[in-house]
Amino acid sequence: MPLIDTPVISEELRERFAQANNVLVLTGAGVSAESGVPTFRGGGNTTVWKGMPFDVISSAGMLARDLPAVWEWFNYRRGLLAALKPNPAHDAIAHWQTQFKNLTLVTQNIDGLHQAAGSRNVIELHGSIWRARCFECSSRHDARELKFDTGVPVCFDCGGNLRPDVVLFGEMLPAGAFEAAAMKAQTCDLCFVIGTSAVVYPAASIPEIARSAGAYLVEVNPELTPLSELCDEVLMGKAGDVLPLLDQ
């Protein structure tokens, strides 16, 4: 990653940041990178698990073919996450919810670090690694309390098999989550896109909705993305360095 000096925040953005009422923030794996969470597509190569690209092991097809393998993959990641803490980017965003009349935080991350930093009402578009869901009765359970003696944990309520409560590739997003985010995107004045490669849909369409509804669109990322050309301002830097600058 090239040495990145901290970008300059324009007067226009400072003005809009001071005046904004309705702000939408969309985050991806990059906002958790400084906490030690591996990103999926950092540095040009895609995460691979046991020879499978992550969007193969994290797919509806794999869930149908080999549920124990899918649990192994998420148990490994939950193990990685257990000791990790929010970073200054998470803290800045949590602080923003007291700064703006309406702040909507939408994340693609399943790591729960926004909530650990104090963010409330987080729209988790892709679910959470800390929850499991029953195939039969759809009840949700705390993944930290699950027993894996047979490789697949069972539902305490109905005995059905449990699956990670995350959205896999080829699966629909949680009912209402995308709609709620899209509605806020249509009415926000300012939209921040932080730490995402903006290639996974329908999440990546949210900033597009905000921009076409007239919001001022700001990207925070050390690298350019397919979204950069659509943005009013691109702050090329690490979220943990850039976001605190906005409060200064």
SS3 15: helix
Residue 24: Cβ within 10 Å count: 28
Nearer to ligand BV8, 135 or 169 (CB): 169
Kindly tell me the sign of the dihedral angle through the C-alpha atoms of 207, 208, 214, 218: positive
Whether 126 is a known active-site residue: answer yes
The span from the first CA to the last CA of the chain, in angstroms, equals: 26
Kindly state whether residue 178 participates in binding ligand BV8, applying the rule CB under 6 A: no
**Minimum distance of ligand BV8 from residue 21's CB (angstroms):** 25
Kindly state whether residue 110 participates in binding ligand BV8, applying the rule CB under 6 A: yes
What is the rounded distance in angstroms from the CA atom of residue 49 to the CA atom of residue 212? 38
Nearer to ligand BV8, 11 or 201 (CB): 201
Binding mask 73-92 for ligand BV8 (x = CB under 6 A): --------------------
State both tokens at 225.
Answer: 């993305």
List beta partners, residue 190: 23, 216
Q: List, in order, residues 6 or more apart from 226 with CB less than 8 Å away.
A: 197, 198, 199, 204
- Under rule CB under 6 A, which residues in 180-199 are in contact with ligand BV8? 195-197, 199
Q: List, in order, residues 6 or more apart from 175 with CB less than 8 Å away.
A: none
Nearer to ligand BV8, 106 or 220 (CB): 220
Nearer to ligand BV8, 102 or 182 (CB): 182
Which residues of this protein are in contact with ligand BV8, per CB under 6 A?
Answer: 28-30, 33-34, 39-42, 54-55, 58, 108, 110, 126, 166-172, 195-197, 199-201, 203, 220-223, 225, 238-239
Residues annotated as catalytic (active site), given as ranges: 126
